[in-house]
Structure 1
Amino acid sequence: MDASVIIAGAGPTGLMLAGELRLAGVDVIVLDRLAERTGESRGLGFTTRTMEVFDQRGLLHRLGPMGTSNAGHFGGLPVDFGVLDSIHQAAKTVPQSDTETMLENWARSLGADIRRGHELVDLHDHGGHVEVRALDPQGAESTLTAPYLVGCDGGRSTVRKTAGFDFPGTEATVEMYLADIRGVDLEPRLIGETYPGGMVMSGPLGNRGVTRIIVCERGTPPRRRTEPPTFAEVAAAWQRITGTDIAHAEHEWVSAFGDATRLVTAYRRGRILLAGDAAHIHLPAGGQGMNTGIQDAVNLGWKLAAVVRGHAPEELLDTYHGERHPVGERLMMNTRAQGLLFLSGDEMQPLRDVLTELIRYEEVSRHLAGMVSGLEIRYDVGPGRHPLLGLRMPHLELVGDRHKTSSTELLRAGRGVLLDLEDSAVLRDRAAAWSDRVDIVTAAPHGVPAAGPLAGTSAVLVRPDGHVAWAAPGSHHDLPMALERWFGPSRTQHS
């Protein structure tokens, strides 16, 4: 085998997955058809959940200073994300190109083999391994084999098409333009500000003198393009909608996209898996696409590593689809709903008015903000009544025997964590047979309020992706059962 895992696509999803696999000691090859990154940034910033994910891997400092805010929207209607329970706010000013650079540097520092200019052109799942054919920058063909292949190669995924994944959904009904321009003074226009002829948005990108604009002209059917639109097309549409001439502006890049909505019926077929846009495409409402892909990678990485290394049975990979496909379904639902709100005409105004009233209620704001940010996600990890089961472990300051730490820092290495909050020798002894995969940490909470989800909690088992798999008291199944379910048989059972 050339590697344990081959990843197609070196965007944020593929790079995040490569880093997660390398943290677990799994050798990985990443193939990307582009010889170098484009420098284009369709995504700007991260949701609160992605901020938490990057923090748990110690990656936030690699991005330097960033603007954060609790201001958000749902379909163009303002929503205060400050109602959510997180130590982080959403990042608003980080270009996707910076995110990709950071993730590539991190993955390479861990030993990932990233091959740019190598395009996957064919594949075959032989049952015991996957074989792929790729073309190098000179057009020479090579064959690579690995036990597993993951397609992170975007909305037009070669892996998805060639492997025969079903990809049902709806075709695009509109075409939208995106452009980053210079040399024009435009007042900021928030998403959701509609005109008789369509919708436009504009806003500065940091302090670089660059303005991002988005244009959607009502009644214009989407085109099947093989090349990006010209800036002349974008400027003409802007003028028809707003009456303002921006044709004299300089443009850094231009792109077109639509509101097609599709979700694969399965995230896994045998030894081939999909993540990110390869598994789901949708209107980019609320900046959820890149963030969902990164979170797909964090859910999959530790599971795939456990299977590859022989720690866990292959059935663990079924939980990837079981947990992330419902997330994809809600992503499809909420982006379609948002598109109706900010792309429709005056006929939608009564609904906008009603939702504006409802959003004033904190419970409604919390629900919508949790949906867009990803903080609402709760996985089915087994029976139990503990309020944290299936949710992501909240940030908790801890005091151990010798030093202070936190629940976030304990996840840096990408391993499971059994957090013993009451210094129980019996608990630690029951988990000792999994200590090669799970860090057993005894620490006391520092400054935790009497109320809240951790009130009365004596121990928590946290998966490498940060989600709580078991907690005491309140879980109906025994700790060894939870450890075996998520981390495979113990060393004793293996021997």
Structure 2
Amino acid sequence: MKRVEVDVAIAGGGPVGLMLACELSLAGVKVSVFERREARVKQSRALTLHPRSLEILALRGIAERFMARGRPLPSAHYAALDTRLDLAALDTTFGWTLILPQTLTEELLEARALELGVGIHRAHRVTGLQQDDEGVSIEGSCPEGAFHARSRFAVGADGARSAVRTLAEIPFPGTEATMSVLLGDVVLSEPPSAPAVVRVGAEGTLLMMPLGDGVHHRIVVCDPDRLRVPLSEPVTLEELSVATRKVMGSDYGMKSPFWLSRFGNETRIASTYRQGRVFLAGDAAHIHLPAGGQGLNVGLQDAMNLGWKLCGVLQGLAPASLLDTYHRERHPVGQRLIQDTLSQSALFFGFHREGLALREVVARLLRVPEANRVLAEQIAALDVAYPEAVLPAPPGMEAPPELVGRRLRDLPLPSGDGTRRSLYELLHDGKWLLIRRPGAPTATSRAPRAELPGAWARWTSVVVADLPGEPAALRGGSAVLIRPDGRIGFVAR
């Protein structure tokens, strides 16, 4: 039997599992990924990376790798409405959605994981899981016959049918799929001139866009007369062609299908993201209608949140209670994701007169900049904040509710010697970051010392710099302590 002993065992080698593995290995945590597939899938479930996902990649110094392979688009759709969401107006250096097939996202994350020394075990199917006070034992099948992995913690990033979630007996309440939608990645002999096509009417809903490989287009189409077709029924090119012609009047000469599939609106969220030493992330924790590619992006953000917390506990830098904050912070985000995709479902499948009228009303509301910004920030995940401190404050610091847990955009930090460094650049190592203003006191009861005490000193980088453009509530403070995920942790007045 093949035996593996690591600090963290991750089931699932998709983007979420690989992102988590990178975060752990960056901090020196020994981690292995167990993936049931023999090779990466060639079909791309998701096609976009949203602004907050690009920010977390930038926080670890790898965003440029993704930007070099993708195509930025400064807008996004909401339920295929005519009025698009303006991402360029958002407070971020990444004011766009990056068109990048999931296959490339996975390829780039796997390359990074291998750089960091992550053990990736393919064709390993998890079939058993037991946990005790000291750790977790996982067993399963593999090319060598069977494997046994022992770890201090285990994470299920193994998708909607998660074996880890099932074996850990974590409830996954929700609703079954009630509708099905056609998807096809095909070659178009006569592609449209527009880079993306959206059409909604009584005949159905259609979205069409190039995949970015210069060959294929993705077509997603809802046929009101075939919404109840079982997901298990194979899709044919003829079915996709008929549905496309019904909505558009043409099938654009579609041929040579690379992938044909059917997806539904099954909606579920795990009752808890943590069960003892077992955690869930990504689709293992939440599934929904894939509206706007949010599932992949929220999963990557789950991984970032869990990763630095596991690192802190495993390295003895933080109490075990820090791990409880993973569920407290991310489960509400998952619940809001469910609410958002359910609302998009109502608009997306609104083919009757009342539904079409509602679509027009919402599209008109989105022409109001303030309303557009609310939904744009939500889809981009830039409005997520965590209003409670995850750890007791260091000496001389506090966690004001109006600031704690708020993300900071990337900023150039001018220092006293005239040089500038990017805020995100200073967080590439995955540690906390203490920014002390030039001239701030260093040894008063209301300001942190230049060197933080105890474990804080081993888990924190310190820099003296101004923080231009910061939230107004920060002005006048002598220092700010930033979490490894680029969010405000504590401040000193």
TM over 0.5: yes
1:405 to 398, 418, 421: 421
Instruction: Say whether 1:178 aligns with 2:196.
Output: no
Q: 1:147 aligns with which of 152, 155, 160?
A: 152
The CA distance in 1 between the partners of 2:235 and 2:143, in whole Å, is: 27
Judge conservation of contact 1:75–1:192 (CA < 8 Å) in 2: no
Alignment of 1:41-52 (within 5 A): 41-52=44-55
Quote how far apart the aligned CAs of 1:85 are.
0.8
The structure 2 residue matched to 1:69, chosen from 73, 92, 97, is 73
Work out the number of aligned pairs and report it. Answer: 470
CA distance in 2, matches of 1:8, 1:130: 12
User: Residues 407 and 227 of structure 1: is their aligned pair in 2 closer, same or farther, counting only changes over 3 Å?
Assistant: farther
Once the two structures are TM-superposed, the CA of residue 227 in structure 1 deviates from its matched residue by 7.8
Q: 1:313 aligns with which of 319, 322, 329?
A: 319
Which residue of structure 2 aligns with residue 370 of structure 1?
377
Per the alignment, residue 464 of structure 1 pairs with 484
| Preserved contact between residue 172 and residue 222 of structure 1 (Cα < 8 Å) | no
What TM-score do the two structures reach when normalised by structure 2? 0.89
Which runs of no fewer than 5 residues in structure 2 stay unpaired?
A: 390-397
1:358 to 349, 361, 365: 365
From 6, 13, 19, the counterpart of 2:9 = 6
**What is the CA distance between 1:472 and its match in structure 2?**
3.1
Q: Residue 22 of structure 2 aligns with which residue? A: 19
Establish whether residue 418 from structure 1 lines up as the match of residue 424 from structure 2.
no
Q: What SS does the aligned partner of 2:77 have?
A: strand
Flag the 1:199–1:353 CA change in 2: closer, same or farther, 3 A.
closer
Partners of 1:238 and 1:245 within 8 A in 2: yes
1:334/1:191 CA distance change after superposition, 3 Å = farther
Q: C-alpha distance in 2, partners of 1:46/1:374? A: 11
Distance 2:7 2:230 in 1: 38
Equivalent-residue separation in structure 1 for 2:457 and 2:71 (angstroms): 39
How does 1:164-313 map onto structure 2 within 5 Å? 164-187=169-192, 188=194, 193-206=199-212, 208-222=214-228, 225=231, 229-245=235-251, 249-313=255-319
Q: 1:462 to 1:450 in 2, by over 3 A?
A: closer
Provide the residue aligned with 1:349 in structure 2.
356
**Which residue of the other structure, out of 163, 175, 179, is the alignment partner of 2:168?**
163
Q: Which runs of 5+ in 1 are unaligned?
A: 474-495
* Structure 1 stretch displaced more, 320-329 or 101-110: 101-110
Measured after TM superposition, the shift of residue 240 of structure 1 is 4.4
**Alpha carbons of structure 1 residues 449 and 331: separation in structure 2 relative to 1, 3 Å:** closer
Shift of 1:308: 1.8
- Show CA shifts across 1:135-162 (max 9, x none): 1135x11211111110000111111112
SS of match in other structure, 2:355: helix
Cα deviation for residue 471 of structure 1 reads 1.9
Q: Determine if contact 2:46/2:296 at 8 Å carries over to the other structure.
A: yes
Match of residue 449 from structure 2: 428
Deviation per CA, 1:17-61: give whole Å up to 9, x if none: 000001111100100011110121121121111111111111112
SS in 1 for 2:458: coil
In the TM superposition, what is the alpha-carbon distance from 1:358 to its structure 2 partner?
2.0
Assess, with a 3 A threshold, how the Cα gap between structure 1 residues 337 and 144 changes in structure 2: closer, same or farther.
same
Root-mean-square deviation (Å): 2.3
Greater alpha carbon shift after TM alignment, 425-434 vs 337-346: 425-434
Identity %: 38
What is the CA distance between 1:449 and its match in structure 2? 5.1
C-alpha distance 270-451 of structure 1, shift in aligned 2 (>3 A): closer
Q: Is the partner of 2:463 in helix, strand or coil?
A: strand
Quote the offset at 1:375 in angstroms: 0.5
AA matched with 1:374: A
Write the letter of the residue equivalent to 1:114: I
Q: Aligned-pair distance for 1:343? A: 1.9
Question: Which string of whole-angstrom CA distances, capped at 9 and with x for unpartnered residues, describes residues 154-211 of structure 1?
Answer: 1111111121111111111211122211143242595752232321111222361311
Q: Are the aligned partners of 1:83 and 1:365 in contact in 2 as well (CA < 8 Å)?
A: no
Distance in 1, Cα, partners of 2:341 & 2:124? 33
Change (3 A) 1:53 1:239: same
User: Distance in 2 between the 1:163 and 1:286 partners?
Assistant: 30
Residues 81 and 365 of structure 1 are in contact (CA less than 8 Å); yes or no, is this contact kept in structure 2? Answer: no
Q: Take 2:415 and 2:227, find their aligned partners in 1: how far apart are those partners?
A: 61
Cα deviation, 1:314-363, whole Å, max 9, x if unaligned, reads 21111000000000011000111111112211321222222223222222
Call closer, same or farther: CA 1:263–1:386 in 2, change over 3 Å: closer
Does structure 2 conserve the Cα–Cα contact (< 8 Å) formed by 1:189 and 1:201?
no
Aligned-partner Cα distance in 2 for 1:224–1:9? 27
TM-score (structure 1 length as normaliser): 0.89
